[in-house]
A = this chain, B = another copy of it.
């Protein structure tokens, strides 16, 4: 369908069309076309002047031409004037050109916005605000136009939302009504997905070599610094410095804080050290924190961003596979306490996630494999096609063939983004599906002291356990279990955890955060590409399956 290619914002004056359009364009990396601004630029006059010198009819002709120009390409966010939908030709043009979204507001809100924003810019605002009873004028003009506004394919009620929230609603509607991120052709090929959440939205970009262009990316997103990079001493010489230089080339002030690599750095004390550094640099609420590294760096930097000045803008640039396809998306941030991992933290969404699969080329083979485990898991729970891609191209993916790896990572990140968008805080039972393989996986990590086993390795064994439980519950047959096992094996991932103690595993499982009120909530497979949860797995079955894994 050709008519999802642009996003057109319509609505009465004072509903925020221009600013929301600019924000939507920023989120999607699209071009902005503002018809009023275009007319002003071409005519060299303010709209009010044109209106009063040449009359409304002449202005409407200019407006029609501007609309035609605006719709003459794809991948544009078009902000229109408040009156365009009254004209049948305009309606045809706009509805043919893309998704028409109406911004709504109550007359009282419009009156308040127009009267506090100073001089109205658009032709209808001045007469509206003049006279005795401007609110009544707004009401009657709006009532007259309402039938046309109601033709929009989507409506966002803006009264109680910030501009960022309205923009996120527009992006979400576009996605829901068939907007596609894989944008074959002229969209933004690096955009994998957009996470929409209660406070706004977060574009996810994936591109080979992206980190070296991060400065341009920040500029394009309107981030002009200063930027505080948090990275570790392994990643800094490889990629932290690269990001810093790219930012500096784009004339964005960028400072680095380098933590020692490793889980021990994900501590309260380290967060405190970063706070003092930020204070000494006089970081402000509008500055940006950028995490360049794996999960430890992302979690720590995210926690600092969530809490310094009650929240600073935050960008994730994950450099490990697991951080890309999992940890960087979804807004979970944390530090460890001596008592347990991730005990202190916050849900805090990044502004952007920028993944550069080129950074994976310096990972060891084992790190790479454990990273693929999470991506393969995404396939099994949500996307059967992705599982096939893994099966058909295992060796190219293990060799990090640029195009294919980038594509698979993009799809895997899109899955995580979709799940997080639907269930931001794990309250609706959707996000929990991502824990497929994690109940046993976490228990393996915990009983071995978080060191011998890498996270993805534990997940791999856990996936085998969960698949076997699914089989015993009659949900899948043995072929699916074998198919999963073969694929994991091709990625050098373990299918068993021999030598571990079953009692320890059991006790660790019951302490897992996902168990509430005793019964463990298992994530099980219904088929390849579809998962569900169940609390009804009999303990004897669990015991037998776990024993079979050890």
Q: CB-nearest residue of chain B relative to A303?
A: B307
> Which of B146, B152, B175, B279 lies in contact with A146, CB distance below 8 A?
B146
A199 to B153, CA, bound (A): 18
A347 to B312, CA, bound (A): 12
Stretch of A156-164, A381-389, A476-484, A496-504 on the interface side: A156-164
A199 to B346, CA, bound (A): 14
Say yes or no: A339 contacts B279, CB within 8 Å.
yes
Q: Does A532 contact B (CB under 8 A)?
A: yes
Q: Does A73 contact B (CB under 8 A)?
A: no
Q: How far is the CB of A521 from chain B (nearest CB, A)?
A: 13
Q: Does A116 contact B (CB under 8 A)?
A: yes
> Which of B150, B180, B306 lies in contact with A346, CB distance below 8 A?
B306
Say yes or no: B147 contacts A142, CB within 8 Å.
yes
Known interface pairs A104-B150, A161-B176, A307-B345; 13 further A-B residue pairs with C-beta atoms within 8 A, sorted by A's residue number: A106-B151, A143-B146, A143-B147, A152-B157, A155-B155, A160-B177, A164-B427, A198-B198, A279-B339, A280-B339, A307-B307, A307-B346, A310-B346
A425 neighbours in B (Cβ, 8 Å): 162, 199
Interface flags for A71-112 (1: CB within 8 Å of B; 0: not) read 000000000000000000000000000000000101000000
A157 neighbours in B (Cβ, 8 Å): 152-155
Interface size on A, residues (CB 8 A): 64
Q: Does A137 contact B (CB under 8 A)?
A: no
Q: How far is the CB of A337 from chain B (nearest CB, A)?
A: 6
> For chain A residues 500-550, which have a beta carbon within 8 Å of chain B?
513, 516, 532
Q: Does A475 contact B (CB under 8 A)?
A: no
> Which of B139, B280, B332, B343 lies in contact with A275, CB distance below 8 A?
B343
Q: Does A165 contact B (CB under 8 A)?
A: yes
A309 neighbours in B (Cβ, 8 Å): 343-345, 513
Say yes or no: A344 contacts B307, CB within 8 Å.
yes
Say yes or no: A176 contacts B147, CB within 8 Å.
no
Q: A160-B180, A306-B346 are in contact. Are A147 and B150 (CB under 8 A)?
A: no
> Which residues of chain A have a CB within 8 Å of any CB of chain B?
104, 106, 116, 139, 142-143, 146-147, 149-157, 159-162, 164-165, 175-177, 180, 198-199, 268, 272, 275-276, 279-280, 285-286, 303, 306-311, 332-334, 337, 339-340, 342-347, 422, 425, 427-429, 513, 516, 532
Q: CB-nearest residue of chain B relative to A340?
A: B279
**Most-contacted residue by chain B among A151, A164, A344 (CB, 10 A):** A344
Subset of 18 A-B contacts with CB under 8 Å: A104-B155, A142-B150, A143-B146, A146-B149, A146-B150, A152-B157, A155-B155, A165-B176, A199-B425, A268-B272, A276-B339, A280-B339, A285-B513, A307-B344, A309-B513, A310-B347, A311-B346, A346-B346
